[in-house]
Amino acid sequence: MAVYREGTMRNRVFRLLGAVCVALGLSTIAVAPALAQDANGPRLGYVSLERILRESNAAKAAQAKLDGEFSQRQKELADTAAQVKPLYDYLEKNSAVMADSERARRQKELADKDKDFQRRQREFNEDLNQRKNEELAAVVDRANRVIRQIAEAEHYDMIFQDAVYFNPRVDITDKVIKALNAMPATSSAAPASAPLAPASK
């Protein structure tokens, strides 16, 4: 997936070369790194979004924020689970010798506890996933703005976040992470006014 693209004559030449390679049964991936190093060809870059979401300070801060928000609820879930297990173990061990009324009472108690646990666990997972998506989206937005700034400052024609193959020479992930780490933490609240989308043909 290309996250930055400049509509220049060099790009159109590159696409033409790619079409010729496909017609010959060759892979444009194989020629991309070589062209990226050619001063007269399009300048290409690659960014690992996975590394950004794992290694950047913004991603680590987002994870710490989520841990703080959900640690109490996670502890409460663990406590509920700890209450259910003894009820199950006791009923399984003594069910055969219980009076019918006692067995029915304990089965209902166990079913109610288990139902409550399942509900709270489902709600926990839904809330956690929603907040995680929100926090990761904010990190991705900041990373995309950094990528655009680097692309414009260093005259990249296209920067990819997804590739079957890339030459390590075109990998600018370290540079993006360094620039992202240098951004003020409050910048995550800045509006995403310029989403990175492929330029129209």
Q: Which residues contact 34 (CB under 8 A, 6 or more apart)?
A: none
pTM of the model: 0.64
Q: What would the two tokens of residue 154 be?
A: 């260093």
Task: Give me the residue spans of the domains in the chain.
Answer: 2-56+143-189, 60-135
The region that residue 21 occupies, defined by phi over 0 for left and psi between -120 and 50 for alpha, beta otherwise, is alpha
Compute the radius of gyration of the chain from its Cα atoms.
27
Report the 3 state secondary structure along 47-69: CCHHHHHHHCHHHHHHHHHHHHH
Calculate the dihedral angle through the C-alpha atoms of 20, 14, 52, 200, rounding to the nearest 10 degrees.
Answer: -110
pLDDT tens for each residue of the chain, 201 residues long: 555 555 443 444 344 334 333 333 333 333 344 444 455 689 999 999 999 999 999 999 999 999 999 999 999 999 988 888 888 888 888 888 888 888 898 889 889 988 999 999 999 999 999 999 999 999 999 999 999 999 999 999 999 998 899 999 999 999 999 999 998 875 443 333 333 333 333
* Residue 198 tokens, joined: 């492929």
